[in-house]
Structure 1
Amino acid sequence: MLCPWRTANLGLLLILTVFLVTVNISWPILMGKNAVLCCPITLKYLIITWEIILKDQPSCKKAYKKETNETKETNCTDERITWVSRPDQNLDLQIRPVAITHDGYYRCIMGAPGGNFYHGYHLEVLVTPEVTLFQSRNGTVVCKAVAGKPAAQISWIPEGDCVTEQKCWNNGTVTVKSACHWEGHNVSTVTCRVSHLTGNRSLDIELLPG
C-alpha cells in the first residue's frame, strides 16, 4: 500500500516542514487492510522517533539513531506495528493488518540540528456494519446496522412512522436500529437505505398483511 501522502518536490516539502513544523493528516482506513505511515525525510536528521498514542494504552515509542544505527522501543507490545524494513533503509511504519484497536495518533518526530519536526497521522479505523432487515410479528419493519464505526445512517423509502436508536459498544462501534410502520399508507414494499463511510447498502422487503 502506498503512503497516503508523498511529494516529489523536495524543495517545497522542505519549506513546508521548516515553516509549518508540524504536519497532521487525518486518515480513515478500513479494518483488516494494511497501512503504511510515511515519515518524509527532507533534512539531515540525528534521530527518528515514531510515537504511537492509542486509547487506554501507554504511549509506544520506536526510535532509530542514525549515528550508531541503533533502534530502541518503549512500551511497544503490538507485533502488528513494525518498521517497514530496516530503519537505516526505510523509516516508514506499517500496520499489518489494521485492527479496531489501532485507532489513534501516530507521529514521526525528526530530531535534527535545527530542532524537532513532526509529521502525524490521526488514524480512524472504519468498520463495516452488518445490515439486516425484517418484519416483526406486530407488523413493524426493523432495519439494523450492527457494530459499525462510525455509526451508520438509516433512511427509508417511502418514509414511514419511525423510531431510531443507537447502542454504543465498548470497542467504539455503534449499532443503529430503525423500526417503522406504514399503517394506512397503502404501502406494499419498503426499502431500507444504510449510508456508511465504508459503502452504502439498500435492502427491500414486501410487507406482510397485518
Structure 2
Amino acid sequence: MGSSQQAGWWKKPTSPTNTRATLEVVRKITYTLVLLAITAVTGATGNNSVSVTVGNSSVLTCPSKPSVMMVTWKISPKVGGRCTLGYRADTNETNRTNCSDSMNWKLTPERDPALEIRQVGIAHEGNYTCEVVATEGNFHKTYNLIVLAPSKLIRHCDLHSRPVCEPLAGKPAAQVLWVLENNSTPKEEVHDNGTVTVLSKFTAHSSNVTNTTCIVSHPAGNQSKSIACHPSKNSFILPVSIITGVLSIITVMAVIYYFKLHRDRLCHKTKAPETAPTHSPQDDTMEVEPYTTYVQKENVIYNSVSDLTTEQNLPQGLSPAT
C-alpha cells in the first residue's frame, strides 16, 4: 500500500520539450487576449480613418440604436473653428453651430443620423465624432477624415534637354518613378493649403537617352506619361542665345562709335576759321576822346581856381591881367 501511495503522489518530471510547448501555448493565449482587448477598445471608441478625394462626397454613419434620444455631431477640422450638429428626439428639434452648408444630415436625424459632406475640400479634413444617447446607453464613433488631392502632372524638357516630371499640388506628395534608372533626387515644395508639388529631373548614366516614361504614384490615382527630349535642337539654344546677345551689343556699340566719330569730323570741317579782330584808328580815337575831354575839363577848372586865388592876393585897385 505504501508503494501504491508513493506511486500516486510521485509524478514524472516535465521535460524541456513540454515546457517549451506550454510556454508557446501561453504566449498564443496572451497574444489573442491582447488582440481582443485592442478590438474591444477600437469598437467602443469607433476610431476610423476615411479617405476621400477632393470634389467627391462622403457619408459618415452613427451607431444605429432603436430608441435614440439625442444625437450630436462634433466636428474639429484641422483648419478653422469647431462646429456641431445636434438633434433632440423629445422635441424633434435640430440645431447647428458654425457648420457650413456643405455638411448636413444625410436624411433626417430621427430616421438616419448619418452625416453627409458634399463637395469635399481640403478644409474639411479633421476629426468627426458622433455621440448617440439611447435607452441602452451612450455610444460614440470617431472618424479621421483624410482628404486626397490628385496631382496635375506636367512634363517638359529643361534647358539641358533633361526630361522633367512635375506633379503639381498633390496631397499627400506624389511619388515619382522613371522607367529607366535615374540618379536625381526629387524636390518637394509644400504649399500653404497642405498640398505638395514635386519636381523630378531625369538624369541617366548615358547622355544618349532622349525618351523615357514618368510614373506618378498617388493614393488618388496613378499616372504615367512618356517624355521625349531632343538634344540636337535644344542643347544649343542657350549658347546661341548668349553669342547672339554679345554680338548684338558689340554691333550697337560699333554703330554708335562710328556715328559719333563721323559727326566730330563734320563739325571740324564746317567750323569757320577764327580771325583776329580788326583794330581801326577810329576806335583808338574813340577810346582816347573821353580821357582828353576829362583832362581839358580838369585844366579849365584848375586855371579858374588859380585866377581866383591871384585876384584875391592882389592889392586893392589892381586887377589881374586878362
TM-score > 0.5 by shorter chain: yes
The Cα of 1:181 is off from its aligned counterpart by: 2.4
Which structure 2 segments of 5+ residues have no match?
A: 1-38, 236-322
For the 8 Å contact 1:139–1:181, the answer to whether it is kept is no
CA drift of 1:203 comes to 1.1
**Taking structure 1 as the reference length, what is the TM-score of the superposition?**
0.84
Correspondence 1:189 to 2:199? no
- Determine if the alignment matches structure 1 residue 49 to structure 2 residue 49: no
CA distance, structure 2, for counterparts of residue 184 and residue 24 of structure 1: 51
> Which aligned pairs between 1:1-210 and structure 2 lie closer than 5 A?
20-42=43-65, 44-76=67-99, 78-113=100-135, 115-182=137-204, 184-209=206-231, 210=235
Question: TM-score, structure 2 length as denominator?
Answer: 0.56
Q: Secondary structure at the match of 2:46?
A: strand
Give aligned pairs, total: 194
SS in 2 for 1:163: coil
* Cα deviation digits, residues 23-77 of structure 1 (max 9, x gap): 111111111111111113135332110011102322211110111111122222x
How has the CA–CA distance of structure 1 residues 127 and 158 changed in structure 2, closer, same or farther, with 3 Å as cutoff? same
User: Judging changes above 3 Å, is the alpha-carbon distance between structure 1 residues 17 and 182 closer, same or farther for their aligned structure 2 residues?
Assistant: closer
- Contact between 2:182 and 2:204, CA under 8 Å: does it hold in 1? yes
CA distance in 2, matches of 1:158, 1:55: 40
Shift of 1:101: 0.9
Q: Deviations over 1:139-194 (max 9, x none)?
A: 22211010011110001121122131101111111101111223635323111110
**Which stretch of structure 1 is more off in the superposition, 16-25 or 28-37?**
16-25
Q: What secondary structure does 2:68 align onto?
A: coil
Q: What's the counterpart of residue 3 of structure 1? A: none
Show the counterpart of 1:11.
Answer: none
Contact 2:163 2:228 in 1 (8 A): no
Which 4+ stretches in 1 moved above 6 angstroms? 16-19
- 1:80 is matched by which residue type in structure 2? S
Cα 1:148/1:191, change in 2 over 3 Å: same
Deviations 1:106-160 (A, max 9, x none): 1110123564311121111111100011111222221101001111000112112
Any unmatched runs of 5+ in structure 1?
1-15
Q: What value does the CA root-mean-square deviation take over the aligned residues? A: 2.1
> What letter is aligned with 1:27?
V
Q: Which has the larger radius of gyration?
A: 2
